[in-house]
């Protein structure tokens, strides 16, 4: 798997710096738009956009040479390691976002309580998005994932004000409050997140095993 | 005899296509170079894709080193070096980076050997693949195939589109490779002169069917080409005719194991292919 991670990094090396910078800059942009918005809004953006952009960029690079996938399938354990590398790569990006958020938190939001089940919920959103994205990518390639990428980017691009209005609107606020207080058990959410990711990986391996290249 | 690879009754078809790789039986012995020839679209690449498990067969099985090629995939593939017909590395990578990726995949990867091959092929390690010529790309693929000391080399049209000097160089490398015992080379081409130079056994595939698989020297003794006018065809036994076609007022026959008094001429591989393609039965 390490070799395929190296391969992914080498393919993305021209674009990866953009994603690194974007992840760092997003919280600043959110804070500039509205100082009063909670830090979790910027974290939400990071978790959704960074892995999505990374994986989409990777799909676009891989699309440039379809024969490369045929070559990978001819290598020892090629199919399985290719899938593992995709999941590990997305996970590393999510981990990077979490580390950036931790850093940003202590700089900008140190007065407020760090502990928030919302952070775990947002992580769960990111994991779930990747759990859907990667199997579609493996099955259909770039033509399939654009139906996930474009709507997600459009929705997220509607701006942090959209989400803050959702959160402050009374009807939505009650619904969100219900969701947040109903599922306070973080460990269950983490466990479900791991299961979702694992099941997605198993589905992807199955798809890849049967894929004719 | 020991076989490095056995292809038993393999069938492959594609939905919506009339092409079918039909009941292929082949046995690849150790210590030989097997040349697979056929016209474009005959099924050479499909057969190689089946061997490499890039696609699945509808029926039949393939054994490599006596093991089922799907069940023991990891063990088998670590001993196979292969080259595809087009450069399959991402063009933004350099040769050095390709080596970096592959060295963690093959347990027997020898980076020193890889560098020796790159040096022998005069490939600049730092150059991006996109900057390499077609011949250089093919040589790079060959270097990656050889660097982990495989037991079988599977090459799909490696000499296609290359100049004679490069082709000769590659064929010499294959001969050096086979000089070590317990190695096999299986390469597909539609350039029959390459087979004349390098191959020990020739397999001809036409429209998805294996027409023959014979030692190169036996082919010359087995087949005869005979051309005649319409009036003289009565002398020819039907059972000896492999292929025939009529052109410019003349019949052209490919005869196999002819015991009649007809004196045909020894065909070249090109002529055998041409007769089967134009008038195969």
DSSP A31: H
Given this model, what pLDDT does residue A168 score?
A: 54
CB of B18 within 8 Å of any CB in chain A? no
- Average pLDDT (A111-128) is 75
| Residue A204 burial (C-beta neighbours within 10 Å; 0-12, 13-18, 19+) | buried
Of B82, B84, B105, the CB nearest to A67: B84
In this prediction, residue A173 carries a pLDDT of 54
Q: What integer is the mean pLDDT of B75-81?
A: 91
Residue of A nearest to B57 (CA): A212
Average pLDDT score, chain B: 87
CB-based contact B141:B88 (threshold 8 Å): yes
How much is the average pLDDT of B151-173? 87
pLDDT of res. B226: 83
The answer for residues whose C-beta is within 8 angstroms of residue B55's C-beta and 6 or more apart is A212, A213, B12, B46, B49
Residue A132, pLDDT score: 94
What's the confidence (pLDDT) of residue A81?
92
Q: Are A40 and B42 in contact (CB under 8 A)?
A: no
B198-228, pLDDT tens digit by residue? 899 999 998 999 988 989 888 878 888 888 8
List pLDDT tens digits, range A65-110.
888 898 999 998 889 999 999 999 999 999 999 888 888 777 766 6
Question: Bridge partners of B94?
Answer: B128
**Alpha carbon distance B96, B154 (integer Å):** 23
CA distance B183 to B175: 11
Q: Which residues of B touch A70 (CB under 8 A)?
A: 49, 54, 84, 88
Most confident of A121-125, A165-169, B138-142: B138-142
pLDDT of residue A85: 93
pLDDT tens-place string over residues A150-186: 888 888 777 655 555 655 555 555 555 555 555 557 7
Q: Could you tell me if B262 and B236 are in contact, meaning their C-beta atoms sit under 8 angstroms apart? A: yes
CA B132 to chain centre: 24
Alpha helix positions (H), chain A: 2-12, 16-33, 39-63, 67-73, 78-108, 117-140, 142-157, 160-168, 170-182, 186-210
pLDDT at site B7: 93
Average pLDDT over residues B246-266: 77
Mutate to test the interface with B, among A60, A76, A79, A80 (most CBs of B within 10 A): A76
Residue B151 near chain A (CB below 8 Å): no
Separation CA A3–CA B186 (nearest Å): 28
**From CA A143, how far away is CA A139, in angstroms rounded?**
10
Q: Decide: B189 and B156 in contact? Cβ < 8 Å.
A: no
Q: Per the CB < 8 Å rule, is A6 touching B104?
A: yes
Is pLDDT at A113 greater than 90 in this prediction?
no
Q: Is it the case that residue B105 has pLDDT exceeding 70?
A: yes
Q: Is the dihedral of CA A56, A58, A61, A66 positive or negative?
A: negative
Q: How confident is the model at residue A138 (pLDDT cuts 50, 70, 90)?
A: very high
Yes or no, beta carbons of B49 and A70 under 8 Å apart: yes
CB B236 within 8 A of CB B160: no
pLDDT for position A171: 57
B56 contact residues in A (CB cutoff 8 A): 210, 212
pLDDT at A116: 66
A134 contacts A196 by C-beta, under 8 angstroms:
no
| Sign of the four-CA dihedral B121, B138, B207, B9 | positive
Q: How far apart are CA B270 and CA B68, in angstroms?
A: 35
What is the tens place of the pLDDT at every residue in B22-59? 999 999 998 899 999 988 888 999 999 999 999 999 99
Q: Would you call B88 and A6 a contact, using CB atoms and an 8 Å cutoff?
A: no
Mean pLDDT of B227-240: 78
Please state the three-class secondary structure of B109-174 as a single string.
Answer: CCHHHHHHHHHHCCCCCCCEHHHCCHHHHHHHHHHHHHCCCCCEEEEECCCCCCCHHHHHHHHHHH
Please state the ipTM of this predicted complex. Answer: 0.82
Q: Which residue of chain B is at minimal alpha-carbon distance from A11?
A: B92
Would you state the pLDDT for residue A172?
Answer: 53
| pLDDT of B107 | 86
Query: Does residue B14 register a pLDDT over 80?
Result: yes
Domains and CATH numbers, chain B: 3-215 (3.40.50.300), 218-278 (no CATH)
* b/e per residue B159-191 (b: at least 16 CB within 10 A): bbebeeebbebbbebbeebbeeeebbbbbbbbb
Helix H or strand E segment including A112: none
pLDDT of residue B260: 63
Measured distance CA(A11)–CA(B23) in Å, rounded: 41
pLDDT-wise least confident of A37-46, B177-186, B241-250 = A37-46
């Amino acid at each position: 798997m390490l070799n395929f991670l190296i391969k992914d990094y080498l393919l993305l090396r021209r674009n990866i710096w953009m994603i690194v910078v974007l992840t760092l800059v997003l919280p600043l942009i959110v804070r500039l738009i509205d100082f009063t918005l909670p830090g979790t809004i910027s974290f939400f953006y990071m978790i959704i956009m960074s892995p999505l952009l990374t994986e989409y960029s990777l799909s676009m690079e891989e699309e440039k040479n379809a024969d490369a996938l045929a070559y990978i399938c001819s290598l020892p354990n090629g199919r399985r390691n290719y899938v593992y590398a995709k999941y590990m790569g997305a996970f590393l990006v999510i981990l990077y976002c979490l580390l950036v958020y931790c850093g940003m938190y202590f700089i900008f939001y140190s007065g407020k309580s760090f502990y928030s089940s919302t952070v775990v919920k947002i992580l769960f959103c990111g994991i779930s998005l990747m759990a859907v994205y990667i199997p579609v990518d493996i099955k259909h390639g770039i033509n399939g994932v654009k139906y996930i990428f474009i709507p997600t980017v459009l929705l997220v691009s509607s701006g942090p004000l959209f989400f803050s209005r959702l959160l402050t609107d009374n009807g939505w606020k009650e619904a969100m409050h219900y969701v947040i207080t109903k599922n306070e058990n973080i460990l269950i959410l983490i466990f479900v997140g791991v299961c979702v990711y694992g099941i997605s990986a198993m589905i992807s391996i199955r798809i890849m095993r049967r894929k004719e290249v | 005899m020991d076989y490095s690879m056995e292809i038993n009754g393999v069938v492959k078809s594609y939905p919506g296509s009339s092409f079918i790789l039909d009941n292929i039986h082949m046995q690849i012995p150790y210590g030989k170079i097997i040349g697979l020839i056929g016209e474009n679209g005959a099924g050479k690449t499909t057969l190689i894709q089946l061997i490499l498990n890039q696609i699945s067969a509808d029926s039949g099985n393939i054994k490599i080193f006596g093991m089922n090629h799907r069940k023991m995939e990891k063990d088998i593939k670590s001993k196979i070096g292969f080259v595809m017909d087009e450069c399959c590395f991402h063009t933004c990578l350099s040769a050095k980076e390709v080596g970096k990726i592959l060295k963690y995949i093959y347990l027997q990867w020898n980076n020193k050997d890889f560098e020796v091959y790159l040096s022998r092929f005069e490939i600049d390690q730092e150059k991006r693949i996109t900057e390499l010529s077609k011949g250089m790309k093919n040589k790079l693929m060959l270097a990656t195939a050889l660097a982990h000391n495989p037991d079988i080399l599977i090459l799909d049209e490696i000499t296609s589109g290359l100049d004679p000097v490069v082709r000769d160089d590659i064929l010499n490398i294959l001969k050096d490779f086979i000089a070590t015992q317990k190695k096999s080379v299986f390469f597909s081409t539609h350039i029959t002169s390459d087979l004349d130079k390098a191959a020990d056994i020739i397999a001809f595939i036409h429209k998805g069917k294996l027409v023959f698989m014979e030692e190169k020297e036996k082919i010359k003794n087995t087949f005869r080409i005979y051309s005649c006018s319409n009036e003289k065809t009565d002398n020819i036994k039907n059972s000896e005719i492999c292929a025939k076609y009529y052109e410019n007022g003349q019949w052209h026959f490919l005869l196999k194991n002819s015991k009649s008094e007809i004196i045909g001429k020894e065909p070249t591989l090109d002529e055998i292919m041409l007769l089967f393609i134009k008038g195969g039965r």
